[in-house]
Amino acid sequence: MKLIFLGTSAGTVTVERNVSALLLDLIKERNTLWLFDCGEATQHQMLKAKLSLAKLEKIFITHLHGDHLFGLPGLLTTRSLMQNMSPLTLYGPKGIKQFIETVIDISSSWLTYKLDIVEIEHPMTLVDDQTFIVTCEALSHRVLCFGYRIVEKDKSPRLDIEKLNADGILFGPHYAKLKLGQIVQLDDGRVIDGRQYWGAVKKGRKLAILGDTVPCDASIILAKHVDVLVHEATQKHDLVQKANERGHSTTVQAAEIALKSQVKKLIITHISPRYCLENNQSIVDECRKIFVNTEIASDFSEFEIE
């Protein structure tokens, strides 16, 4: 599982940064990609990163501001020009359905695959399947904006084959029952409990991807004890009043949320166009004074989630 940042600029594109888009690479976990926000030219960024539209399974939009949304119609319709595209689910605040349907209608475009649109109006569970749970909370921005918490389910314990072999329990049909933790009687008369031969449960990973927001309780709910928190840091802290008036957070505020939420790592993004890449170090240094394990994302940055 890894995060691939396709756009890290706030509001508008710059020479160095595209607008908001973030991919969660789940190729190893479920052979799919999940996209969070889809600013202008996101499909171009995917091409440059050699990421396939065919692998997209879910798209999560945090809010309906253009820098998080305007790349979506082009990406969806381009996907229709490809052969045998799988169904796609789009999640976003109320209004996303009207936006997509209107653009497709007035541009005489079409979709050749099934697109399910789930409109969000309040905190809820969006995904609960064999591998992941995704929940959302409403943040504090100028328009309805959501953050997402993605939790990988714990993986079932595996049988400790070395321990079984050491105890003279050879491979056979009883392995299936032992794996389920059932009690089994062997041919030699021994009665064994499968749970005694379980290895350690592999704990699932957790991350939170937040949309635009000023510091709020919902951010802490989403980020509590995650392995990685992705949080906007639109301005340095000397511009805190300007940032907050426009519904955004500063470097210091993002770091404070990470500290309060007891996360393992903070990645900041959504950087104001006033800053260029050479300012990255001074931006991330402001965060690290409060939360040491902070990274700043640039376009095409990749971060493994361990």
Q: Which two tokens stand for residue 265?
A: 């790592």
pLDDT for position 176: 86
Please give the average pLDDT of every successive group of 10 residues along the chain, which has 306 residues: 98 98 97 98 98 97 98 97 94 98 97 98 97 98 98 87 87 85 88 85 94 98 98 98 98 98 98 98 98 98 96
pLDDT for position 172: 84
Q: Does domain 2-155+202-304 have CATH number 3.60.15.10?
A: yes
pLDDT for position 188: 87
Out of 67, 105, 217, 299, the active site residue is 67
- Return the closest-CA partner of residue 250 out of 261, 237, 260, 265: 237
- Whether 67 is a known active-site residue: answer yes
* Sequence ranges of the domains in the chain: 2-155+202-304, 161-197
Q: Which two tokens stand for residue 108?
A: 């005489």
pLDDT for position 163: 87
Exposure string of 25-35, with b = 16+ CB inside 10 Å and e = fewer, is bbeeeeeebbb
The helix or strand, by DSSP H or E, that contains position 279, with its residue range, turns out to be none
Exposure string of 273-288, with b = 16+ CB inside 10 Å and e = fewer, is bebeeeebeebbebbe
pLDDT for position 138: 98
- Return the closest-CA partner of residue 85 out of 117, 110, 49: 110
Exposure string of 127-144, with b = 16+ CB inside 10 Å and e = fewer, is beeeebbbbbbbbbbeeb
The helix or strand, by DSSP H or E, that contains position 280, with its residue range, turns out to be helix 280-288
